[in-house]
Structures are given as structure tokens and as C-alpha cells.
Amino acid sequence: MRRSEIHVMDLSFAAGVLVGAAVGAVLGLMFAPKSGRETRDDLRRKSRDLRSSTGEAVSKLRQVGDRVMKRAHDEMGTEGSGNMP
């Protein structure tokens, strides 16, 4: 398996984790036996947590994307220097 394929799998996994966390949070809040005020407070808290974790995940995804782009650039620079117009 090539490194670029592994990086794509990392990106897919991270996206799956984010979607799973969001779906789990929404379902948990929908089925929790709480008052409206408690549910709204929970929604605010969960949305802050989700924003924070999403920011961290986006940062990690950018780092992975940067590594993939650098590797592709390095490979094209050394192997494909004569093939580019």
C-alpha cells in the first residue's frame, strides 16, 4: 500500500470520527429525559465541545494534507522533472 493511500485512509477515518461524534451527540440529546432548559444548556456545551474538537481535527487533517502534498511535490520534483512541460 502506498503512503498516499494511507494518508487518504487517515483523512477518511478522521472524517468518520467527526461525523460519528456529531450523530452520537445529537441522538444522546434527543433521547435524554431532561427539561428544555437542561437540554439547551447541554446543546450549548456540546456545540462548544464540537467546535473545539472540529478545530483540532481540521488542524490534523491540514497537517496530513500538507505532508501528502509535500511528498507528491518531492516525488514529482525528483522523478518527474523531465516529464513536466
Cα separation of 70 and 49, whole Å? Answer: 32
Query: In which band, very low, low, confident or very high, does the pLDDT at 77 lie, cut at 50, 70 and 90?
Result: confident
How does 24-58 read in b/e, with b if 16+ C-beta sit within 10 Å? ebeeeeeeeeeeeeeeeeeeeebeeeeeeeeeeee
Residue-range domain boundaries for the chain = 3-71
Query: In which band, very low, low, confident or very high, does the pLDDT at 82 lie, cut at 50, 70 and 90?
Result: very low
Q: What is the pTM of this model?
A: 0.41
Q: What is the mean pLDDT of residues 69-73?
A: 84
- Read off the pLDDT of residues 3-34 as tens digits, 9 standing for 90 and up: 666 666 777 788 888 888 888 888 887 787 77
Q: 54 near 18, Cβ under 8 Å?
A: yes
Cα separation of 56 and 62, whole Å? Answer: 10
